């Protein structure tokens, strides 16, 4: 299955679930969430006998979404999020080491199931969530210019391009109802995709071209404060 078809299947599945649950939903929750973001995806590689490391700087994420109840305890969530997680290339041959930053913006669409606890604990209702997602890792215009001017690794010029990946996520949180119309949540999630490569090849082709021999997965840890509005039909 191609990435395009997989994304279309993901969207179709989410839409079908939403259409099924909307027909009898009584309390649709609209939410705004924001918080910190950390991509855990460190790598080490060597080019022309020079050792490099890559990592990501901490950033932030904001999201808009909704949750529609399917049963009293189970809900279906859909959301779009946007954030910043900048890539850093570290040249270990220089003393002190030299770091080059490339701005990265992350766009995400996710569809999740949310299972709420049947019991309140001091007025707080815990929940767990899991789902699938599409992630777009987009270099900024400045990152593209830096890569073209200063290169990547030992290459004097590199072409960074967006990378689209499918992934999954899971997490948990706590919800406190403040008024009949508003609630707040503390939410923690781990989003997992393959490591984004920004379409750089894993080996030099030709020998002078930029390349990035990286494999594995990227974990995007997010901790958010969520404000929910209860829209009752």
Give the model confidence (pLDDT) of 160-190 as tens digits.
999 999 999 999 999 999 999 999 999 999 9
Q: pLDDT-derived band of residue 25, with 50, 70 and 90 as boundaries?
A: low
CA Rg value for the chain: 21
Residue 16 scores a pLDDT above 90: no
DSSP string, 23-81: TT-SEEEEEEEEEEEEEE--EEEEETTEEEEEEE--EEEEEEEEEEESSSSEEEEEEEE
The CA distances from residue 9 to 6, 112, 164, in Å, are: 5, 15, 15
Q: What is the pLDDT of residue 233?
A: 55
Which residue, 33, 35, 82, 61, is CA-closest to 228?
A: 33
Beta bridge partners of 105: 84, 138
Which residue, 32, 12, 22, 15, is CA-closest to 75?
A: 22
| Residue 105 or residue 231, greater confidence | 105
Neighbours of 202 (CB within 10 A): 12
Which residue, 186, 87, 192, is CA-closest to 142?
A: 87
> In the chain, what are the domain boundaries?
3-114+128-167+187-232
Beta bridge partners of 168: 132, 192
Average pLDDT, the chain: 89
DSSP string, 121-136: BTTEEEEEEEEEEEEE
């Amino acid at each position: 299955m191609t990435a395009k078809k997989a994304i279309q299947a993901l969207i179709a599945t989410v839409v079908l679930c939403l259409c099924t649950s909307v027909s009898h939903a009584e309390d649709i929750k609209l939410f705004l969430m924001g918080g910190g973001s950390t991509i855990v995806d460190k790598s080490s590689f060597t080019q022309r006998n020079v050792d490099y490391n890559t990592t990501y700087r901490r950033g932030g994420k904001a999201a808009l979404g909704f949750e529609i109840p399917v049963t009293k305890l189970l809900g279906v969530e859909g959301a779009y999020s946007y954030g910043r997680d900048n890539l850093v290339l570290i040249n270990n041959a220089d003393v002190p080491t030299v770091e080059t930053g490339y701005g990265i913006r992350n766009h995400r669409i996710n569809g999740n199931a949310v299972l709420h606890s049947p019991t309140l604990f001091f007025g707080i209702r815990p929940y767990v969530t899991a789902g699938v997602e599409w992630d777009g890792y987009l270099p900024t215009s400045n990152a593209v210019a830096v890569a073209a001017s200063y290169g990547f690794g030992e290459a004097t010029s590199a072409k960074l391009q967006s990378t689209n990946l499918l992934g999954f996520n899971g997490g948990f949180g706590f919800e406190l109802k403040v008024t009949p119309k508003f609630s707040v949540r503390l939410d923690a999630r781990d989003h997992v995709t393959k490591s984004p490569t920004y379409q750089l090849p894993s080996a030099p082709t030709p020998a002078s071209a930029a390349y990035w021999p990286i494999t594995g997965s990227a974990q995007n840890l997010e901790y958010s404060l969520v404000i929910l509005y209860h829209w009752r039909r």
